[in-house]
């Protein structure tokens, strides 16, 4: 990570805190990575941070400053000692509340109560969100949505993004045919991958030439093969290899639906200076701003019409300059500072500072 250990610790606004993060799984998922980045950044500020999970330590993300405790939540010494507990998924909220001696926070990376995959559990999810926790949202869009639903108090602490490795490739001509990158699982509908594939299929029928590279944390499915579009399919790419995937692309398509809490691949592609075509939903607009191009949400025809405009030299030049600048608004150290403010405020009985 890019922030220095000594400088981060000197920025701390008071004595170190004892903080515990509850992870139900340490598998290679974007949401797990964000929780680990937060824990590590807080530890670099001098806090005593422990990630508690019944799962094995994440070999793909070695913790250098934070501690890892493999334990059932009910048996965890770190949870018993923590001044602050952070639930990282709705299913870890009740264990976080059980026996807590200090404030309990719920790190929200999306509201599962609106996601089709969890439809049969929506009442249970809403019940959990109404439990006495302080919500930590990773975007202003998500914070506003939770507040509108009456699920506060909620603070926008921002997205933790470690920019190390994410930078543009040397200038080069567009590949022949152009390389298109789509990241995310087809099986999770709010990722919008089906819309991206349908738009690409339409573009091909209209004469568009391209090679499609797909990255997902699920293996290639029969449904994916039925599209007959993908030239390369990569399953569970290690995080340190993802910047190379972006830099090898001529165009990135991110078709996230409104239910997506934060389109992290969109941010990563912007940081690598790739022309980025995003769905026109508030969350994607918050990430891309004027540095990205947009198509109508859920509309493959709009997507297909927009694709050729991103393969021009003007588009590539704009992406190389504006994309990294937009991504520069996100960092890990800033999130850690805001988290510390929220934790200290809760311990002092103050209202969340970032409530919309």
Encode burial over 144-177: b for 16+ CB neighbours within 10 A, e otherwise: ebbbeeebbbbbbbbbbbbbebbebeeeeebeee
Report pLDDT for 356: 42
Report pLDDT for 13: 73
Q: What is the pLDDT of residues 245-268, one digit of tens each?
A: 999 999 999 999 999 999 999 999
For the CA atoms of 103, 36, 290, 214, the dihedral, rounded to the nearest 10 degrees, stands at: -140
- Contact predicate 239/61, CB 8 Å: yes
Q: What is the pLDDT of residues 128-159, one digit of tens each?
A: 999 999 999 999 999 999 999 999 899 999 99
Report pLDDT for 11: 72
Find all residues with CB under 8 Å of 44, minimum gap 6, and list them: 1, 3, 5, 8, 9, 65, 336
Report pLDDT for 274: 98
From CA 344, how far away is CA 282, in angstroms rounded?
A: 30
Average pLDDT per consecutive 10 residues, the chain (356 residues; last block may be shorter): 56 88 96 97 98 97 97 98 98 97 96 93 97 97 96 95 95 96 96 98 97 96 97 95 98 96 97 98 98 98 98 97 97 97 92 55
> What is the dihedral sign for C-alpha 20, 24, 28, 32?
negative
Whole-prediction pTM value?
0.92
DSSP track, 189-258: GGG-HHHHHHHHHHHHHTT---EEEEEESSPPPHHHHHH--EEEEEES--GGGHHHHHHT-SEEEE---T
Q: What is the pLDDT of residues 234-248, one digit of tens each?
A: 999 999 999 999 999
Domains of the chain (ranges plus CATH)? 5-162+331-347 (3.40.50.2000), 179-327 (3.40.50.2000)
Report pLDDT for 10: 59
- CA 50 to the chain's CA centroid: 21
From CA 143, how far away is CA 156, in angstroms rounded?
A: 6
Token pair recorded at residue 143? 């914070």
């Amino acid at each position: 990570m890019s922030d220095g250990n000594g400088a981060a610790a000197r920025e701390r606004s008071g004595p170190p805190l004892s903080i515990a993060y509850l992870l139900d799984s340490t598998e290679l998922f974007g949401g797990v990575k964000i929780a680990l980045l937060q824990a590590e950044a807080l530890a670099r500020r001098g806090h005593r941070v422990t990630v508690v999970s019944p799962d094995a330590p994440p070999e793909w993300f070695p913790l250098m400053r934070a501690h890892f405790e493999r334990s059932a939540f009910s048996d965890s010494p770190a949870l018993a000692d923590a001044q602050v507990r952070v639930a990282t998924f709705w299913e870890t909220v009740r264990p976080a509340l059980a026996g807590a001696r200090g404030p309990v926070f719920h790190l929200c990376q999306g509201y599962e109560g609106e996601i089709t995959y969890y439809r049969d559990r929506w009442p249970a999810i809403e019940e959990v969100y109404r439990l006495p926790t302080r919500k930590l949202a990773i975007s202003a869009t998500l914070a506003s949505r939770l507040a509108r639903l009456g699920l506060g108090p909620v603070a926008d602490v921002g997205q933790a993004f470690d920019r190390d490795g994410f930078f543009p490739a040397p200038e080069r001509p567009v590949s022949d045919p152009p390389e298109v990158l789509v990241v995310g699982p087809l099986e999770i509908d709010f990722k919008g991958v089906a819309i991206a594939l349908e738009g690409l299929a339409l573009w091909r029928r209209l004469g568009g030439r391209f090679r499609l590279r797909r990255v997902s944390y699920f293996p290639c499915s029969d449904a994916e093969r039925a599209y007959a579009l993908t030239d390369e399919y990569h399953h569970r790419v290690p995080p340190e290899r993802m910047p190379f995937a972006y830099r090898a692309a001529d165009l990135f398509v991110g078709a996230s639906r409104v239910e997506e809490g934060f389109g992290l691949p969109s941010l990563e592609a912007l940081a690598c200076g790739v022309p980025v075509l995003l769905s026109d939903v508030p969350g994607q607009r918050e990430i891309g701003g004027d540095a990205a191009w947009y198509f109508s949400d859920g509309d493959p025809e709009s997507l297909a019409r927009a694709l050729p405009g991103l393969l021009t030299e003007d588009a590539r030049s704009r992406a190389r300059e504006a994309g990294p600048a937009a991504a520069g608004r996100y960092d890990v150290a800033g999130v850690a500072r805001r988290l510390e403010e929220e934790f200290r405020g809760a311990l002092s009985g103050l209202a969340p500072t970032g409530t919309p």
